[in-house]
Structure 1
C-alpha cells in the first residue's frame, strides 16, 4: 500500500513539472511562428486601425523587365502573409496589397498609378524602373500618397519634382547607384589592380545613363583611365560593333551600365568575341537571370549590390529559407528589397496607428535602425536608404562576395 502511494505521489509530481513545461514549449512555438521583422516593441499595438488597409503595388510583371518584377511581387506577397498572420496591425486590421502591372514602359506605370490612386490606396510601392518612377511618382505625390521605390537607383529619385512639399512623399529603400558603384569600383581596383577600362552604357534610359555618370566619377576618383566609351539603346540585341572597338583597346576591365535584357547579351557576346577579363556592371545586373541566361559566360562579372544571398544576418537567413520554400528558388536582391519595402510600409501604418496617407508618410520618414534582411535600415533626410552595400562576383553560376580571394581569378 505504501509503495502504491509513493508511485502516485511521484506521478503527481512529474505531472506538476511537465504541464508547465509543455505550456512553455507551446508558448515558445508561437513565438517562433511570429515573424522577427518589425517594430514590435518600438511601436505599441495599434488601437485605431480596422478593416483592410489597401496599399498599391506596381511592378513590371510583363515585358522585358518581368525578370525584376516577378521576384518583387513574390517578396511583397510573402511579407503580406507574415504581416497579417502575425497581427502586426492589430486584431482588427489587415493590409491588402493591390497589384497592378507596370509593364516595361513609363506610360503603363503612369496608368497603373492613376488607377490605384482613384481606387483609394493609402500608399504605393513601385514602380520597377527609375524611368517609370520619374513619370509616375509625381502623380502619387500630387495626390498626397506616399510612394516607395524598391528598385529605383537613379540619381534624383526622391527630389524629382523640385518641390519639397511634393518630394516629401517620395521614398526608396533601394540604394542609389551613387551609394554602391564607388565602393564597387574601389574594391575592384584594389583587388585586381585595374588601371584602365572601356565603358558601354545605355544612353536612352534614366537608370543606365545615371549609372554611367556615377561610374565615370568613381573611375576618375580611383585614378582609372577611360580608354573608350560606347553606347547602345534599350532593345538592342547586337553589340558586336561596340565590343569589337572595345576589345581592340585591350582594357583591364569592361564597365557596363545596362538593364538585364541587354546585360545578358553584352556579357555573352563579349565572351564570344574573346574578352575574358572582368566585367563590372551596375544594379541592372543584380538578377539571377544574368547567370541562368548567360551561363558560364557570366562568370567574372562584378557588381555592387544592396544584399547578397549568403548574408549571415539571421533575418536574411530566415527570409531566404521562407522565400525558397514558398517559390522553389532563392530570392534575389529585388525580391529582398520589395519584401523589406512592404514591411516598412506596414511599420509606418503600425507606428502611426493610422491609415491616413499623411500620417503614414510622417511615420515612414521617422524610421531609423529597422532590423531587416538588408541589415539595420534607416531613411536619411532626403528619404533615401541608409545601410551597408556589398560587392559581388558571379562565380560558378552564383553571386559570391567579392574579396581578396579573387585576386588571381582572371590570371
Structure 2
C-alpha cells in the first residue's frame, strides 16, 4: 500500500511538522471540546482524540458552525454511551486554503490525534488532504462534494454525497416536471466546489440533450450579478443551473427574481443551507437541490436528531450538521472495530471496511476508494422551507 511505499517521505514530513508545531506555526488557537467534565473518568471506554478543521470565521462561517455543532452533539452522545470517549481539537480555517494547511500541519504533528475531520470547503480539502495522506493520518470530508476527493489517497475519505450523484438527480427530476429543453448555467469560477458542480451540470445537460443557452461566471464575494443575469434572461432558458455557495447563490436568486427571471433554479450542494432562505426570502422559492438529508422527514432518527440538536443549540440543524453528526458516529464505529484510539493504520483499515452503517442519513458504506455509497433525496424550497420534491 501507499503508506509503506512512502515510509521514508512520511518520516521526513513528520519531522518537518514537529518543527513547525514547535515554532507555533498556526494562525488560530485550537479549541478542545470534551463532552465530559474535566477530569471525569472514562471507565473502560476507548479514548481517541480527533482533529477538526472547520470554516468558523468569514463569509461562509454558517457552514463551519453547523458542522462543528453536529460534531459536538455526536461527541456528547457517543461519550455518554460509554464505549468510546472522543475529544475534539477544533481549528478554524476561515475558509482559506493556506490557513487550513497551517492548522492541518499542527494537527498532523500531534501524535495523540488519531484522525482529522474537515476542512469544510473542497478548495481547502484539496490543499490539506495530500499532506494527511503522506503522513498516514486519516482525513474525512463531511461537506466536500467535488469529484476526485477520495482518489487523493488511501487515507482520504468523505461521507458527503458528491455533486456527481446529487446534481444529476436534481436535474433529471426538474426536467421531467417542467419539460425543459434549454438551460442556462452560472457558477463561481474561483472555488473548487462551484467549479466542480458546474462541470457536473454541464456534463449532465449535454448527456440529456439539453440546449445550453449561455454559461456565466462570477467570483467569490461578488455582490452585483446583473450583467450575468441579463444575459441569462435574454437567452430565455427553461431552467437555470447554478453552482454557488449559499452567500453568493442567495443574492443571485434575489436579483434574478427582481429582474423577472421566474424559471426554476437547480442548485449544487452549496445551496443546501437554511441561510439561502434567510438571505433570499421569497426569491428562494423554486430552488431545487439534491441532498442526502431531508430535515422534515418523519423518520424517527431524523425527528430525534432534530429534537436533540434544537435543545442543544436553539435552532434546527441543516444538511451540514447532519453529515458531520453521522461522520463522528462513523469514526466511533471504526474505533470500536479497530479496538484502539491510537493506531492510525488500524483505524484507517477499519474505517475503509465500513458497510451499511445505519446513520441518520440512511444506510452508508464506503466504496473501494473511500467514496460514498448511499441514496440521494431531491428537495425544493416552497413557501419558505425545504420540502421533498414532488414530480
Q: Which residue of 2 aligns with 1:373?
A: 360
Q: How many residue pairs are counted as aligned between the two chains? A: 348
What secondary structure does 1:180 align onto?
helix
Change beyond 3 A, Cα 1:158–1:397: same
Is 1:103 aligned to residue 98 of structure 2?
no
CA contact (8 A) 1:368 1:378 kept: yes
Is 1:142 aligned to residue 134 of structure 2?
yes
Render the CA deviation track for 1:336-356: whole Å, top value 9, x for unaligned. Answer: 000000111111111110121
Task: Give the distance between the partners of 2:158 and 2:83, measured in 1 at CA.
Answer: 22
Q: Which residue of 2 aligns with 1:60?
A: 55
What secondary structure does 1:276 align onto?
coil
Task: Give the distance between the partners of 1:322 and 1:219, measured in 2 at CA.
Answer: 40
CA contact (8 A) 2:241 2:266 kept: yes
Residue of structure 2 aligned with 1:156, choices 137, 148, 153: 148
Render the CA deviation track for 1:293-327: whole Å, top value 9, x for unaligned. Answer: 11111111111111110233322221111111211
Higher strand share goes to which structure? Answer: 2
CA contact (8 A) 2:186 2:242 kept: yes
Q: Which residue of 2 aligns with 1:334?
A: 320
Task: Give the distance between the partners of 1:84 and 1:252, measured in 2 at CA.
Answer: 51
Residue of structure 1 aligned with 2:270, choices 284, 288, 291: 284
Is 1:385 aligned to residue 377 of structure 2?
no
What is the TM-score of this pair, normalised by structure 1? 0.83
Task: Give the distance between the partners of 1:168 and 1:318, measured in 2 at CA.
Answer: 34
Structure 1 window deviating more from structure 2 (304-313 vs 138-147): it is 304-313
CA contact (8 A) 1:313 1:375 kept: no
Task: Give the distance between the partners of 2:52 and 2:233, measured in 1 at CA.
Answer: 42
Is 1:79 aligned to residue 74 of structure 2?
yes
CA contact (8 A) 1:185 1:222 kept: no
- Structure 1 gap segments, 5+ residues each: 1-46, 161-166, 405-411
Task: Give the distance between the partners of 2:138 and 2:131, measured in 1 at CA.
Answer: 10
Q: Which residue of 1 aligns with 2:24?
A: none
TM-aligned CA deviation for residue 393 of structure 1: 0.6
Task: Give the distance between the partners of 1:396 and 1:73, measured in 2 at CA.
Answer: 29
Q: Which residue of 2 aligns with 1:169?
A: 155
What is the TM-score of this pair, normalised by structure 2? 0.87
Is 1:271 aligned to residue 257 of structure 2?
yes
CA contact (8 A) 1:55 1:97 kept: yes
Is 1:118 aligned to residue 109 of structure 2?
yes
Task: Give the distance between the partners of 1:379 and 1:312, measured in 2 at CA.
Answer: 26
Render the CA deviation track for 1:47-101: whole Å, top value 9, x for unaligned. Answer: 9865x42100111000011111101000000000000011132xxxx11011100
Render the CA deviation track for 1:188-238: whole Å, top value 9, x for unaligned. Answer: 111111111110111111111111110011112222111111111111111
CA contact (8 A) 1:189 1:222 kept: no
Q: Which residue of 2 aligns with 1:244?
A: 230
Q: Which residue of 2 aligns with 1:130?
A: 122
CA contact (8 A) 1:199 1:254 kept: yes
- Structure 2 gap segments, 5+ residues each: 1-42
Task: Give the distance between the partners of 1:263 and 1:320, measured in 2 at CA.
Answer: 26
Q: Which residue of 1 aligns with 2:285?
A: 299
What secondary structure does 1:302 align onto?
strand
What is the aligned-residue RMSD (CA, Å)? Answer: 1.4
CA contact (8 A) 2:44 2:83 kept: no
Task: Give the distance between the partners of 2:387 and 2:223, measured in 1 at CA.
Answer: 28
Q: Which residue of 1 aligns with 2:329?
A: 343
